[in-house]
Amino acid sequence: MTSLNRGAVERVRPVQLAPLIAAVRTSIVRQLLPWFRRHARALPWRRRRTPYRVLVSELMLQQTRADQAAPYFERFIRRFPDWRALAAADEADVLKAWEGLGYYARARNLRRLAQWIVNKGGGRLPKSVDALRRLPGIGPYTAAAVGSLAFGLDAAAVDGNVRRVLARVFELSAPRGVSLEAECRRLAADLLPKGRAGAFNEAMMELGAVVCLPRAPRCTDCPLRGVCRSAATGTPEQYPRRAPRKRVPHYVVGAAVTLDARGRALIAQRKSEEMLGGLWEFPGGKIEPGETMAECIARELKEELGIEIEVGERLTVVRHAYSHFTIELHAHFARRIRGRPRRIHCADFAWVPVARLRDRPFSRADLRIIEALEAWVAAARSHPRGRASNISDTSDRPQTSPVTVSAT
């Protein structure tokens, strides 16, 4: 059996693909849907479906595995049980509930959407895929998933799991990208059993999540193995084809952990239009060519908050991968020596006791700095003399009198 290139798929589909599509459609109804009824995982959003719960879960599941999203979903729903509660919430509270899931634009969009629904949408989601797509933050996948799961609309939702299953069943040879996406959407729409779109979408996603795994597909357990081309040729791992990997940029970043005489840390809030917008962070930024880490951190604090600092010893180094780049974040203690913070390149700033930092939303990388800081504070309490001088803020005090921080 030979694999099909995309152009060929389009040209030969009416004649050569029709029998396979028909066979897969039959297998979906006879094998896949019954398999899903027996083996569906007990995920919290499946317990009680309302349009609100469906939408929250679908946004959480973008870029996040179901087992990771499940505890977040339960917490989020307890905190914001409906559109009204979410619409009335502070953005910081919503981001806090989302903290750790990443891709925070999803949380901001969800809150904005709740406000639109409460204020302009009559308190409910529209019941057509086209109208759903016009809402802020709702793309074709989410509109189809919500339309099918919440309202029973005949819309095929194609996520990464479904793409992988279809690419393997049909041996689609287009590399990951726009053309594979479009081909999978066409195939999924062809395969959709009318009136059962919700079950079809969930079953396909579940199959991709627990059986048709990226590296080690469990073909012997698969309800579609009888119609799967790549299983027949023993080549499932070759699909979907990988596009050549782009080199991911790597940045070295410095951040200041500036503590004042009362043991409060200086933190800044990122502007809403930036990546990680609305989250709090230890201020800092990318190192520039020829700079030392201390020079980088001092420059960034001057640019961002208008203060002069003295950079002290390193607290920790955090390595973190975002979707399009990686960072190595060097967090150093710092001491404010001149100036009062101003909102120059940040949405806000605050002096917050170390023990209260976790009340605010931070990115994963900054949470690691908080962890290190908490450990440092615990150690400083055990050996106060050896540690205190690194974190004194002497700008408002005689320069010769370092202050022991009470980190509460």
Between 144 and 222, name the residue whose CB sits nearer to ligand SF4: 222
C-beta contacts of 23-30 below 8 A and 24+ residues apart: 23/227, 24/169, 24/170, 24/191, 24/224, 24/227, 25/190, 25/191, 25/193, 27/223, 27/224, 27/226, 27/227, 28/191, 28/193, 28/200, 28/203, 28/224, 29/193, 29/196
Q: Which of 126, 198, 236, 240 binds ligand SF4 (CB under 6 A)?
A: 236
Binding mask 201-220 for ligand SF4 (x = CB under 6 A): ----------xx----xxx-
Between 85 and 232, name the residue whose CB sits nearer to ligand SF4: 232
Binding mask 16-55 for ligand SF4 (x = CB under 6 A): ----------------------------------------
Q: Which of 148, 230, 269, 395 binds ligand SF4 (CB under 6 A)?
A: 230
161 is a contact residue toward ligand SF4 (CB under 6 A): no
Residue 167: CB minimum distance to ligand SF4, A: 9
Q: Which of 97, 132, 144, 231 binds ligand SF4 (CB under 6 A)?
A: 231
Residues 6+ positions from 1 with CB-CB distance below 8 Å: 171, 229, 232, 233
Residue 210: CB minimum distance to ligand SF4, A: 10
User: Beta 326-338 vs 250-258: how paired, if at all?
Assistant: parallel
Helices (H), 62-104: 66-79, 83-88, 91-98
Catalytic residue among 58, 99, 202, 281: 58
Residue 231: CB minimum distance to ligand SF4, A: 4
Between 143 and 166, name the residue whose CB sits nearer to ligand SF4: 166
Question: How far are the Cα atoms of 79, 341, 359, 367 from residue 362, in angstroms, in the given order?
Answer: 18, 20, 9, 6
Instruction: Count Cα atoms within 13 angstroms, Cβ side, for 350.
Output: 14
Residue 165: CB minimum distance to ligand SF4, A: 5
Please calculate the CA angle 390-363-380 and round it to the nearest 5 degrees: 25
Instruction: Give the SS3 label for residue 289.
Output: coil
CA-to-CA distance for 61 and 160, rounded, in angstroms? 11
Q: Which of 169, 191, 209, 296 binds ligand SF4 (CB under 6 A)?
A: 169
- Supply the Cα-derived Rg of the chain in whole angstroms: 26
Annotated catalytic, 295?
Answer: no
Is the Cα torsion angle 52, 53, 55, 59 positive or negative in sign? positive
Between 52 and 239, name the residue whose CB sits nearer to ligand SF4: 239
Q: Which part of the chain contacts ligand SF4 (CB under 6 A), choosing from 23-31, 226-234, 258-266, 275-283? A: 226-234
CB-based burial label for 136 (10 Å; 0-12, 13-18, 19+): exposed
Between 163 and 168, name the residue whose CB sits nearer to ligand SF4: 168
Q: Which of 110, 155, 165, 346 binds ligand SF4 (CB under 6 A)?
A: 165
Between 27 and 395, name the residue whose CB sits nearer to ligand SF4: 27
Give residues in contact with ligand SF4 (CB under 6 A): 165, 168-169, 211-212, 217-219, 222, 224-225, 228, 230-231, 236
Q: Which residues are catalytic?
A: 58
